[in-house]
A and B are shown apart, each in its own frame.
Chain A
Amino acid sequence: MPSPVPGRTSAELRGYVEGDNPVSGNPFSRDLFDGLTRPLDDADMAGATFERARSRLLEPATEDDLHDLFLENGWTDKLPIVLPTEERVAAMLAGTSRAPGEVVGRLRAASTRDYWEFTVEQAAANAVMAGARPEYLPVILALLGSGYSARHSSISSMSEAVVVNGPVRDEIGMNSGIGALGPYSRANATIGRAYGIGSQNLQGGSAPGISYMGSLGNPFSFTNLTFAENEERSPWEPYHVQHGFAPGDSTATIFRGVRTMITSGGIADDWREHSARRIFNATRASGGVVLLLDPLAAQNLVEHQGFARKADLIEFISDTGRMTARRWWGHGLQELFFGYRARAGEEPWASYLAADPDEQVRINVPEDVHVIVVGGRSAAAWSVLEGMANGTKLDRSLSGRTVSVDEWR
């Protein structure tokens, strides 16, 4: 059948049904009925079982040939990698007390695919490839063991964003200051890269057109926007403390569905009425809001905008960003994600469904608004990421959460 289906009128869709199959050239309806009634042969009726053999080590080869092999097999992000020799992987494994053969978890590119399972040693090989140091391994294991693949196949080109909290930040030299979101920290860059490369290899691939369908792709995916919160310069409790962890715990939070980052200026006196309203009204319906604040911006919000409590700022953001119920339900796949929950009486979706189409509803509920302090105090800068974690569960696989790093030391 021709494509696409989205954006086509009823008449155009009827034309698809009554037109030709663009692949075979036959009338579509003939191929459809043939597919439903053509007799099956013995092979169709027998079913099939597949078992994929895997060797722990690859055949010995020159470095150049191995680099070519890794590229050809889709085992890299197309940037140069460090080959995972036995010596390097052994050194990497010193970064955790976990046994090499212990199962870390399972990953898959989409809910329609089977899970692949992997061990500490297999994860360590990917950490080596990404250029990570052994002391980063507990964070990398926590990310890969989360069950959230950083190579999801969504047509919407999702990436992850990772925020690290707790003592591990300083222990391994993560950057939460100047340039934290950029290429200025080996720990930030290679932890995020190991999460990406590890996801694609440990889940059995991320091949465009086969197991990766993101139409545009996402530049965040190279290192999954990995950084540490600047807890020491924050006027509020650290992010992980909001979600049940102790200040002395080390954690990694995985935000999923990260596609956009909107950046504004500083914090002017009329921030509430103008900048905030403009930016938070521009977010996507239930896409989540992750407000990234330089410490100077956070300080300003406390001292001049009245947000002594982070919870008050979160409520303000949720209350400020609004759109009509008609637009909210018209965004992307809202009916698919929330329609059945609304009809089951779940709030606030049930009220959104019952609302007058012109009623202004909250774009994001407070549970889906997050505030992270990061940056080096060179400007009162602030940015807004789209992303989901620890909030309303769009779906089991589409919202991330905060996970323990300490379990993987």
Chain B
Amino acid sequence: MAGKITVFNPEGNAPTVGGKSLAPRPDSLEGRTVFLVDAGFENSADFVDQLRASLHEHRPGITTVTEHLSTPFDPAPDLYARIAAEGDAAILGVGL
């Protein structure tokens, strides 16, 4: 041990992370409803609009619903519940 010293670990205490399983996926999006969620960062609304327009043109069998988060910094439980109840899939447009 000569020449060796003991020092503190400078890190904090990590939380225990409880993972959730992924939601079951549909085998096809035809005839299904896909929520397009704009997180609100710069230009993300335009991106979501373009995604929606492209889907309408190329995949007319998919119903799309566009939603805009009031703020990306807080959870949106009401929107999550609505997507779970009315949607089959969701795409989040972050916009960075």
- Residues of chain B in range 1-44 having any CB-CB distance to chain A below 8 Å: 1, 3-22, 24-29, 34, 40-44
Among A5, A32, A128, residue most surrounded by chain B Cβ atoms (within 10 Å): A5
A365 to B60, CA, bound (A): 48
The count of chain A contact residues (Cβ–Cβ below 8 Å) is 76
Given contacts A5-B42, A10-B49, A62-B3, A340 and B70 within 8 Å (CB-CB): yes
Which A residues lie within 8 Å of B18 (CB)? 47, 49
Which bracket fits the contact residues of B?
A: 35 or more
Question: Which single member of A13, A55, A70, A75 contacts B47 (CB below 8 Å)?
Answer: A13
- Residues of chain A in range 1-60 having any CB-CB distance to chain B below 8 Å: 3-8, 10, 13-14, 16-18, 29, 32-33, 36-40, 44-52, 54-58, 60
- A interface: dominant SS: mixed
Evaluate contact between B4 and A62: CB separation under 8 angstroms.
yes
Q: Which residue of B lies closest to A42 (CB)?
A: B21
Q: Which residue of B lies closest to A395 (CB)?
A: B73
Q: Which residue of A lies closest to B1 (CB)?
A: A60
Q: A66-91 interface mask toward B, CB cutoff 8 Å, 1 = contact, 0 = none? A: 10001000010000000111100100
Given contacts A38-B25, A49-B17, A114-B15, A340 and B5 within 8 Å (CB-CB): no
Say how far A103's CB is from chain B's closest CB, in angstroms: 9
Among B4, B24, B27, residue most surrounded by chain A Cβ atoms (within 10 Å): B4
Which A residues lie within 8 Å of B26 (CB)? 36-37
Evaluate contact between A37 and B17: CB separation under 8 angstroms.
no
Q: Which residue of B lies closest to A107 (CB)?
A: B12
Evaluate contact between A84 and B13: CB separation under 8 angstroms.
no
Evaluate contact between B17 and A122: CB separation under 8 angstroms.
no
Evaluate contact between B29 and A116: CB separation under 8 angstroms.
no
Which B residues lie within 8 Å of A45 (CB)? 21-22, 24
Given contacts A33-B29, A121-B8, A6 and B17 within 8 Å (CB-CB): no
Q: A149-192 interface mask toward B, CB cutoff 8 Å, 1 = contact, 0 = none? A: 00000010000000000000000000000000000000000000
Evaluate contact between A115 and B19: CB separation under 8 angstroms.
no
Evaluate contact between A83 and B5: CB separation under 8 angstroms.
yes
A386 to B4, CA, bound (A): 46
Evaluate contact between B14 and A204: CB separation under 8 angstroms.
yes
Which B residues lie within 8 Å of A333 (CB)? 40-42
Evaluate contact between A29 and B8: CB separation under 8 angstroms.
no
Given contacts A7-B43, A47-B21, A336-B40, A396 and B12 within 8 Å (CB-CB): no
Say how far A240's CB is from chain B's closest CB, in angstroms: 28
Q: A85-B8, A336-B41, A339-B40 provided; 19 other pairs, C-beta below 8 A?
A: A14-B50, A29-B54, A29-B58, A36-B29, A47-B18, A47-B21, A49-B19, A51-B14, A60-B6, A61-B4, A66-B7, A114-B14, A116-B11, A116-B13, A119-B13, A197-B10, A203-B12, A332-B42, A333-B41
Question: Chain B interface (Cβ within 8 Å of chain A)?
Answer: 1, 3-22, 24-29, 34, 40-44, 46-47, 49-51, 53-54, 58, 70-74, 89, 91, 94-96
Could you pull out 27 A-B pairs where Cβ atoms are within 8 angstroms?
Answer: A5-B43, A5-B94, A13-B50, A17-B54, A32-B91, A36-B89, A37-B89, A44-B22, A47-B21, A49-B16, A50-B16, A52-B14, A58-B6, A60-B6, A84-B10, A116-B11, A116-B14, A117-B12, A125-B7, A125-B10, A126-B10, A201-B11, A201-B12, A332-B42, A336-B40, A337-B71, A396-B73
Closest 8 CB pairs of A and B: A48-B19, A202-B12, A118-B12, A340-B70, A125-B8, A52-B14, A47-B19, A116-B12
